[in-house]
Structure 1
């Protein structure tokens, strides 16, 4: 359900710019917006539309008490003042919104506060955890499925939506390193060391070691520098570190990109995940491996919940019936298109610049956010 955002007593230029941003951008599916000059007009509108649950943002010249008087004691909206200064001593921090910040950041903050107050889903909605970092994992039971390409596209789009995303590859050899050339080259390795030495300071070290991608907007830790170090990781190492990062709240989404080999580090990541996006293809070989790995996980006491949090995605989809997947007990959540141009890629940036693939990833994320069922 969309939230209703009501603006009261804000200058015309600001109100018009926000209306345009909402109606033409990614928030068009989350918010309806109405702007009023006076409280009495807004109050009349809300009283005539009691099915709505409004969030109210008003100017500094209007007192909170005046807004509540016009809206009535029984209204279930949330009232916030648009503050011209970051600090406003006469108003609790939870009831003010700083004006001079990007609309994307401001709206995300409003929706999160509304979710905390009323339980109505905020930006994360049904597919993401409210009030805690969501651990989202991309996995496949076979190599060459396109895990990293999907994970990087998801990280880019989630960051563009205003979420703080931390991308971490746990592959022994990660092709994502081709796109991640800034920051410490051994940042994940150093974070693991710091976590083992001082678990309580994990978030501090992660803040220092993570790097913001200059073009795509998500944060990342550089992949492990050598295969030996990756293979020595135990399940408890990964689940412990992931849990610490999630509990710290330094990011909205922790996005894990896993190896297809069933290694201890892979099992630890899967166990710690909230949702697993499991890639398959329209191929008997791939579907057979998927079923066998899933059966093995169901038989392991510590991994039996993995099936319940897995969403199966057919990658390199060329059209046609999905009956083969059903034969292997794979309930397909979404499909992603086959991109012929990716047979040979000389510039890894091409993975994030393909409009057809990016559009379908965006569609998948919307369905996921809305808690949609399998196809």
Structure 2
């Protein structure tokens, strides 16, 4: 029996997490404490505590005793806020993600990517198709389905700081540099630079201010970056949001993707551009290598159907995502995730992608029960 001790001051949170751990890991001996005095007594007793997972406030209050634990995980709201030398785990996220971090702390997670970790790329022939909006809505709903997600924005210029904040704008640059010069440091650096957005329920890297490293990406570096994220074993879904383009690293990205949502508008010129770009990629790769991964999606579409003739092969009929006119003058970025009509269309798109879409109602209820959130909202992102 592995001895795991949980320390959290909120009684309801501690009870819910302890109950889940006992359900999922019957071979673990779980103890939960909400007060520092009781935690200290537990640690000083003659027991072998293999893992202590607790809020930083309780860890500091019991600093004279926590060295009795084999390993320590700090429960934090945001990465980098524990103030101590401990490995961190986000406190408010789906319970499966917390369990994954605990298993990692115990050294019971394989370093190889899980077979069901999928890479999903949002692609388009030109800008303005709404890739980032679709990507973020996909991520939000994937989290609601219990999937652990990582959002990777590879646009040369992007505005995702409106949602995520400024953070460390050189995060991606530092990681890419380390992968080329000191690959053995990649795991530790990724863990340190990775941040979590609780509303979207996703991990991510801060958006760079300058486009240099994206413009200088190579196929080899693109592959190294994706494999580094996959190899953490922490994610079920990696969502890639790149620029439109036809360079070599885009080809590598499409080859490495398990599914591709090819986004376009019901516009004559854009349809022609997409047709040309699709023919180009089919010439660069085996035709079936890209077509079987594709799902076309028309964004800002007419729910009554397409205005223009559909001529793209391999993905008809496309999914249609509705036009939301209120988004033209958005004053709170969180509203990009609050359209029922758009959310419903994204939900149907996820079913087509088989991203948790076959989970029965009972399973979804279980997933909802297995998500820990704050009892009060912090406001829209």
With the length of structure 1 as denominator, give the TM-score of the two structures.
0.63
2:51 paired residue number: none
Q: Which fold has the larger relative contact order, with Cα–Cα distance below 8 Å and residues 6 or more apart in sequence? A: 2
Residues 44-90 of structure 1, C-alpha deviations (whole Å, 9 max, x = no match): xxxxxxxxxxxxx9x99xxxxxxxxxxxxxxxxxx97496616999x
Distance 2:201 2:228 in 1: 23
Matched residue SS, 2:330: coil
Residues 141, 289 of structure 1: 8 Å contact kept: yes
If the length of structure 2 is used for normalisation, what is the TM-score? 0.62
CA, structure 1 residues 279+325, in 2 after alignment: closer, same or farther (shift >3 Å)?
farther
Aligned match of 1:309 in 288, 293, 315?
293
Q: Take 2:97 and 2:248, find their aligned partners in 1: how far apart are those partners? A: 40
- The 5 Å alignment of 1:50-61 reads none
Whether 2:232 is the aligned partner of 1:248: answer: yes
Instruction: Within 5 Å, give how 1:31-42 maps onto structure 2.
Output: none
1-structure distance, mates of 2:247, 2:311: 27
- The equivalent position to 1:147 in structure 2, one of 120, 131, 145, is 131
Question: Match for 1:174 among 158, 161, 176?
Answer: 158
Alignment equivalent of 2:118, drawn from 124, 127, 134? 134
CA distance in 1, matches of 2:125, 2:295: 13
Which residue is equivalent to 1:346? 331
Matching of residues 15-30 of structure 1 within 5 Å: none
Aligned-residue Cα RMSD (Å) equals 3.6
* Pair 1:243–1:360, CA change in 2 (3 A): same
Counterpart CA distance in 1 for 2:199 and 2:93 is 20
Give 2:241's match in structure 1, choosing from 240, 257, 263: 257
How many angstroms apart in 1 are the aligned matches of 2:190 and 2:97?
26
2:50 maps to 1:105: no
Deviates more, 1:144-153 or 1:216-225: 216-225
Whether the 8 Å contact between 1:133 and 1:247 is mirrored in structure 2 is no
Residue among 296, 313, 332 paired with 2:280: 296
Instruction: Give 1:298 shift.
Output: 0.7
Contact 1:297 1:304 in 2 (8 A): no
Mark the CA change 1:86 to 1:199 in structure 2 (over 3 Å): closer, same or farther.
Answer: farther
Q: Does the 8 Å contact 1:148/1:175 carry over to 2?
A: no
CA distance in 2, matches of 1:236, 1:216: 30
TM-superposition CA deviations, 1:7-36 (whole Å, max 9, x none):
xxxxxxx9xx99xxxxxxxxxxxxxxxxxx
- Deviation track 1:336-365 (CA, whole Å, cap 9, x = no partner) reads 111011122233222122222122212321
Moved more, 333-342 or 157-166: 157-166
Deviations 1:144-169 (A, max 9, x none): 00000011111122223332211111
Q: What are the superposed Cα offsets for residues 229-277 of structure 1, whole Å, 9 maximum, x if unpaired?
A: 3211122211221123223323221110010132333333222211111
Q: Tell me the number of residue pairs that the alignment of Structure 1 and Structure 2 aligns.
A: 273
Aligned residue for 2:189? 205
Distance in structure 2 (CA, Å) of the matches to 1:107 and 1:189: 27
Q: Is the 8 A contact 1:212 1:219 kept in 2?
A: yes
CA change 1:311–1:201 in 2 (3 A) is farther
Distance 1:225 1:266 in 2: 21
Query: Gaps (5+ residues) in structure 1?
Result: 1-13, 19-56, 61-78, 90-100, 111-128
Closer/same/farther in 2, CA of residues 107 and 149 from structure 1, 3 Å limit: closer
